[in-house]
Each structure stands twice: as C-alpha cells, then as structure tokens.
A and B are shown apart, each in its own frame.
Chain A
C-alpha cells in the first residue's frame, strides 16, 4: 500500500517535464444536462430524475455556433441522459448540417420512456454514432449498478439498434459499448474483454456492437460517495496511483477536447466539470468568450482524480 500519495501534478512533472497542454482540439464535448431516467451507482455526474440542470436555448445556440464555426471534427454529447434535453435534436441537426460527426452517449433504456421512442430511428437518419453504457455483459453486474430491469431493456434496445443497422457491420453506424468495473477495482484489458462481450451477447441475445471501451470508475460524484461511505477512498486512490501509466498521457481526453457544461462553462473534461475545476487561468472559461485558438493552446487543469484516466491502459 502506498503510504503517501504523490499528487498527479507532481507525478506528471516527474515523467513528462514541461507544461501539460492540449495537443489538438478536435472534439467539442457538451454536457446537455444532468437529468437522467436512471441513477447509476458509478455515475460521476450523480445524474438522476431529480436533477434540474439542463442546457437552455441560449447556451445550445452558442454550442451550435462554436462547433459549426470552428475546425472541430466531432460533437460529443453527454449527460445525464442527453435525450432528456428537449433541444437535443436541434443541436444534433445543426451540427450535422455543418458537416460535423456527432456522438451521443446514451444509456439505451431511455428509448423505452414515453415520448422518447423515436430516437433510435432518428439517430439512424442523422448518422449519429452511439456510445452506450453497459457495465457488464451479465444481468446481475448491470442491474446492481444501474437498477433492476436495466439489463433487459438494454438488450431490447440493442436488438432495436441492430435492426436499424447499428453495430451490425462495418457499413452501418457505430454502436460502441462501455464497460465499467462494478466496484472499486480496475478495468481489465479492453481487447480480451471485448471478445468476451461479443461472444456472450451474441450467444445470449444475438446482438452485436462495434467496439468496447473499458473505462475506470472515476473517484467523483456518486462513485466517490460510495468510496467515502465504505471507507475505501484512500485505498482506491492508492490503487489508481499505483497503476499510473505515463504512456496513457497523450491519449487522454483532455488533450483533445474541450468540455462545455450545461450552463456554458468551459472545462478540460467532463470530470473537471463535475468538480468545478475550471480551465486554467488565461484560457476562456465560458462559451460567451469562446476562442478556439486560445483553447487549442491551453494548459490542462489537473487534480488527483486524473489518476483515473492514466491507470493501466488509460481510460477516457
């Protein structure tokens, strides 16, 4: 056990001397609100049905302008459940009109909520890439984290999406899945787990997907509450720090994106957003002051939670 945790800032200055800066700004990541039909135990946003933070019309317009008028390649939309923001279709439609690739991070189950049934077909029409949370390929692992009945709904949603051409072959739109550890342990190697997901989901439900991402749980939000409540925060932080992999530093999301909060505030990533850790001094801090060149050259604001993105194979 590590007795004294070296701060992440100290750690990266040991291994990568010099400023920790953005490398290339290709992705505008937007959190359109924390409202969600689920309340998953590992959620770093602490999203749920009771959350009231939802991006408004003015900010959505600024997001559309920022992505359309700057050399971003991708608009990456997250939440909460992004579908619960009534402006989602407008944001996606405008971004697609501007020729941007759009990714939506969906929880799959929202397609069965009244009034949201049209989303799968609409996403297909728009050519939207989907990244869906499925913390494990077995029912118990998923329902323990996300709530009873979530796994069966997720499988129904995957059948629906496969029927629309998602995740079925190289020509169809991409449907990727996200594994998260169902507790305070690290994620396994992505490639071996992907094979197992493929085999198990195909054998059990005949469903397919494009690729699997294995993400580490971040010590933020509801997962942090769990760690604190069980007295495991220090142990988990030690585990993340012990798994620090300097080779992961160039690939982590903050080097390639800028993150917009539901209220237009700018951050280096969605995790910093949840901690209220603003972009570094000198960089724009709100979409009112959006400046692509300044953001492309910004230093990254870091904290010890960043060990979550650099543990093992890296996770972002």
Chain B
C-alpha cells in the first residue's frame, strides 16, 4: 500500500487539476463552500469530515481531518466518538441488507 499512498502527496492535491483546471476549480469552490461555517459550525463540519474519512478509509482525508479536529480544540476522545458514529452507521447499513437475504430465502424456499 505504501507505494500507492504517500503522505507528501496530500500537499500536492492541487496537481489533480493539471489536466482539467476548469473542472477542478468547480470542485474546489464547492468543497470550500461546503466546509464554510453555516448552520453548522466549523467544528461540527470537521467532525463529520473525520467520521466520513474513516468509513471511506481515505488515509489523506484521515490525516487532514484529524489535524482539523486538533485545530478546533478536539482530542482523540472526540475523534473516536465521531468514528464510532460513522462506523456504527456503516455497520447498520450492512446489517439492514440481511433483509435482502431474508427476502431471497423467502423467494427461493417452499
């Protein structure tokens, strides 16, 4: 994995725009606007970010949003709670699909 994921690449995110700057700019504008404090505070938004980062298992996002949490005055206690929320939803999403299995069994059984 390490040859694919390099920590220093996080600082090169802008390079993603090299071959289509117009589309990349649209993404950056959207991303920036989404992270601006609104009805939710910056602190609430970065906590959502760190939870999502873990369930999508993006090492760059985990790195970035963990640091953002620290800069919002949060600790590993806050981060761990957020990751549990996100992981529990992910676990629940898997479990609810058991009903698909139930339905399939029903459809294929006497």
Complex formed: what's the CA distance from A214 to B67 in Å?
17
Please give me the residue from chain B that is nearest to A188 by CB atom.
B73
Q: Which of B70, B73, B77 contacts A183 (CB 8 A)?
A: B70
| A: number of interface residues (CB 8 Å) | 17
Q: Which of A1, A138, A182, A186 contacts B77 (CB 8 A)?
A: A138
Q: Contact: B75 with A136, CB < 8 Å?
A: yes
Q: A97: CB under 8 A from chain B?
A: no
Please give me the residue from chain A that is nearest to B77 by CB atom.
A138
Please give me the residue from chain B that is nearest to A190 by CB atom.
B73
Q: Contact: A181 with B43, CB < 8 Å?
A: no
Q: Interface of chain B, helix or strand or loop or mixed?
A: helix
Most chain B beta-carbon neighbours within 10 Å: one of A185, A186, A193: A185
Q: B72: CB under 8 A from chain A?
A: yes
Complex formed: what's the CA distance from A214 to B72 in Å?
11
Complex formed: what's the CA distance from A136 to B70 in Å?
11
Q: Which of B11, B41, B76 contacts A1 (CB 8 A)?
A: B11
Chain B residues within 8 Å of A182, by CB? 70
Q: B71: CB under 8 A from chain A?
A: yes
Q: Which of B11, B41, B70, B76 contacts A181 (CB 8 A)?
A: B70
Chain B residues within 8 Å of A138, by CB? 75, 77
Q: Which of B11, B43, B70 contacts A185 (CB 8 A)?
A: B70
Chain A residues within 8 Å of B67, by CB? 185
Q: Contact: B73 with A179, CB < 8 Å?
A: yes
Instruction: Please judge, given known A-B contacts A1-B11, A192-B43, whether A186 and B71 are in contact too, CB under 8 Å.
Output: yes
Please give me the residue from chain A that is nearest to B67 by CB atom.
A185
Chain B residues within 8 Å of A140, by CB? 75-76
Contact with A along B6-26 (1 / 0, CB 8 A): 000001000000000000000
A4 to chain B, nearest CB (A): 15
Chain A residues within 8 Å of B11, by CB? 1
Q: A196: CB under 8 A from chain B?
A: yes
Q: Contact: A192 with B73, CB < 8 Å?
A: yes
Chain A residues within 8 Å of B43, by CB? 188, 192
Please give me the residue from chain A that is nearest to B76 by CB atom.
A140
Could you show 6 A-B contacts with beta carbons less than 8 Å apart? A185-B70, A188-B43, A192-B41, A192-B43, A193-B73, A196-B73
Known: A140-B75, A182-B70, A185-B70. 4 other contacts (CB 8 A): A136-B75, A138-B77, A185-B67, A192-B41
